[in-house]
């Protein structure tokens, strides 16, 4: 059944009549299973070349099974993997199976270097050649850069350029080390290839991180943004990609001793990027990028409507509830943050961009009522709103709603000396008060004096960067949850004068020896 190809390797002729045993037929049926066939193929028939041990039957680690599950079960998936963890091996096995057992498919391999493209194809060829003859598909063309099978499927490997894949009807795109493609080429390539994928194609993007600004990083961050308009977590990101990530210590041969030796060889920063798979942010974020990388957040323990609760209120704590209102017309989000004091722990949050101001006040009231029910106490509930701009409308709604109908005490900032304006309840945000609140947020979070549980809030903080003399969200990102958090911190600065417990812990956080004001500017401002 086998024949010599032009380049001297064993292949199987196409369109030949064959006789199979019952066991062979059973193998074929299991490999052809479109749900789990790839796993059966990988574990029973896929051989790899180990650099030391030579030819070995593939025996996947748990994270490799997870990676291949991601390949198969999501139309678009992006994978961030440490170096030397077998990602190319997994890809070669899966792509070989896909082309042999899914008919009429065009698989395009795009690698950032010619040698990379050839390496992947060589591994696919090895997987194919080591298969038993009853498993191998017949080939009609077998070259170093492409393979065509009798079922109408083909695999093509190319170097990633702006023109790669142009004019092809791509069924499955595999991009290897996409983060290391030159930024302008990567952007041009992705812009040109995306319309092709939109017509039904699938994509697998795999890389270790390189920069937090490249095309790979952009796609990854959108894949990690799994929150819908109500803040509810989804399985895939807003761009339709499923994100899969593994870590260096998931490999059974790597331990702390290995880590220490590797850091000694390549340095901590390179280790964290290549093995920790961290995007070390080059932008000047309010919270240090290294600290942000260590903060993962948790899933809510309770969803009440669109309010996400991360911790149940108890009577031993005081609660601070801050509303940053919005028009509710689909633009900026209104946001509410709830903190537990004096632990400075995030308890709950809410955000929405189509809830009108009366609805925002009702949500605020409902949160306060829930805390009252859980604690059987209103003395430990303090709430407030930002009174800038649309905040004036919020004050009118509160007046109409009846302040007495919202459990707790409405907190307002004290009038500053020499400040001549008509007193308004709530808090007025200026450049100075914003920067001061930012500095307090930075100090408390980086020194583990404030605990943030919300994944959406942490996502905002990763895009909250220095701009001129202040901080704001990058273009295309929101900072409404941050604004509500800053308002909560300003409320804490007032509450500390009312509660000795808050006073002591708040002052301790501000008096830390390693305190550094946020750049680019620090403006002191009294409350």
Determine the pLDDT at residue 4: 41
What's the DSSP call for residue 141?
E
* Tokens 């930024």 found at: 183
For the domain spanning 2-246, the CATH number is 3.40.50.300
Alpha carbons 171 and 174: distance in angstroms, whole number = 10
List the chain domain ranges: 2-246, 253-280, 302-510
Closest CA to 95 of 154, 166, 32: 154
Backbone angles phi, psi at 115, to 5 degrees: -65, -35
Alpha carbons 202 and 218: distance in angstroms, whole number = 18
Summarize the chain as % helix, strand, coil (round to 5).
Answer: 40, 20, 40
- The tokens describing 34, both together, are 């479109």
Closest CA to 387 of 377, 379, 397: 397
Closest CA to 344 of 320, 309, 328: 320
Determine the pLDDT at residue 421: 59
Q: At what angle do helices 114-130 and 87-101 cross, to 10 degrees?
A: 60
Determine the pLDDT at residue 230: 66
- The reply to whether domains 2-246 and 302-510 share a CATH topology is no
Q: What is the pLDDT along the chain (527 residues), one digit of tens a residue?
A: 344 444 445 778 887 788 889 999 999 999 999 999 999 999 999 999 887 888 999 999 999 999 999 999 999 999 999 988 889 999 999 999 999 999 999 999 999 888 888 899 999 999 999 999 899 899 999 988 899 999 999 999 998 888 887 778 899 999 999 988 888 888 888 888 888 787 789 999 999 888 776 888 889 888 988 877 666 778 888 888 999 999 899 999 899 999 999 999 988 878 888 888 877 655 678 998 778 878 888 999 999 999 999 999 999 999 999 999 998 888 789 999 999 999 999 999 999 999 999 999 999 999 999 999 999 988 899 999 999 888 899 999 999 999 999 999 999 988 766 555 567 899 999 999 999 999 999 999 999 999 999 999 998 998 898 888 889 988 778 899 999 999 999 999 999 888 777 767 776 655 544 434 444 333 333 33
**Is the preceding omega at residue 274 within 30 degrees of 0, hence cis?**
no
Determine the pLDDT at residue 64: 94
Give me the architecture of the 302-510 domain, per CATH. Answer: 2-Layer Sandwich (3.30)
Q: What is the value of pTM for the model shown? A: 0.60
């Amino acid at each position: 059944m086998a024949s010599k190809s032009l380049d001297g390797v064993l292949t199987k002729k196409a369109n030949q009549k064959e006789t199979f045993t019952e066991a062979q037929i059973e193998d074929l049926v299991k490999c052809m299973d479109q749900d789990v066939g790839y796993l059966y193929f990988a574990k029973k028939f896929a051989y790899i070349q180990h650099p030391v041990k030579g030819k070995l039957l593939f025996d996947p680690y748990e994270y490799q099974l997870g990676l291949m599950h991601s390949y198969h079960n999501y139309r678009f998936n992006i994978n961030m993997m440490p170096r030397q963890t077998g990602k190319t091996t997994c890809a070669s096995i899966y792509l070989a199976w896909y082309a042999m057992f899914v008919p009429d498919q065009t698989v395009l391999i795009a690698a950032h270097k010619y040698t990379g493209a050839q390496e992947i194809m060589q591994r696919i060829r090895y997987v194919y050649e080591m298969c038993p003859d009853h498993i191998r598909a017949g080939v009609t063309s077998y070259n170093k850069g492409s393979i065509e099978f009798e079922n109408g499927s083909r695999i093509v490997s190319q170097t990633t350029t702006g023109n790669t894949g142009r004019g092809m009807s791509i069924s499955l795109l595999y991009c290897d080390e996409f983060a290391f493609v030159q930024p302008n080429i990567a952007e041009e390539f992705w812009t040109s290839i995306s319309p092709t994928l939109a017509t039904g194609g699938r994509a697998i993007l795999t890389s270790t991180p390189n920069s937090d600004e490249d095309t790979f990083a952009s796609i990854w961050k959108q894949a990690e943004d799994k929150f819908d308009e109500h803040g509810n977590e989804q399985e895939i990101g807003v761009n339709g990609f499923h994100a899969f990530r593994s870590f260096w210590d998931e490999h059974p041969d790597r331990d702390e001793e290995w880590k220490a030796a590797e850091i000694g060889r390549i340095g901590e920063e390179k280790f964290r990027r290549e093995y920790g798979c961290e995007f070390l942010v080059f932008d000047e974020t309010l919270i240090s990028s290294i600290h942000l990388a260590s903060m993962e957040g948790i899933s809510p323990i309770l969803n009440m409507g669109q309010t996400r609760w991360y911790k149940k209120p108890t009577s031993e704590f005081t609660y601070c509830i801050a509303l940053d209102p919005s028009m509710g017309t689909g633009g900026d989000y209104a946001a509410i943050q709830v903190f537990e004091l004096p632990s400075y722990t995030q308890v709950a949050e809410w955000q929405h961009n189509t809830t009108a101001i009366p609805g925002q006040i009702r949500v605020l009231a409902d949160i306060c009522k829930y805390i009252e029910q859980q604690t059987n106490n209103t003395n430990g509930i303090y709430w407030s709103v930002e009174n800038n701009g649309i905040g004036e409308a919020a004050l009118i709604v509160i007046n109409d709603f009846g302040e007495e109908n919202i459990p707790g005490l409405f907190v307002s900032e004290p009038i500053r000396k020499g400040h001549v304006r008509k007193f308004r309840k709530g808090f007025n945000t200026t450049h100075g008060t914003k920067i001061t609140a930012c500095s307090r947020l930075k100090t408390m979070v980086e020194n583990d004096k404030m605990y943030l549980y919300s994944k959406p809030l942490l996502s905002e903080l990763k895009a909250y960067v220095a701009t001129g003399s202040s901080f704001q969200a990058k273009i295309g990102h929101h900072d409404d949850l941050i604004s509500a958090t800053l308002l909560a911190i300003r409320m804490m600065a007032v509450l500390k004068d009312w509660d000795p417990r808050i006073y002591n812990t708040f002052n301790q956080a501000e008096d830390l020896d390693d305190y550094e004001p946020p750049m680019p500017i620090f403006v002191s401002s009294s409350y």
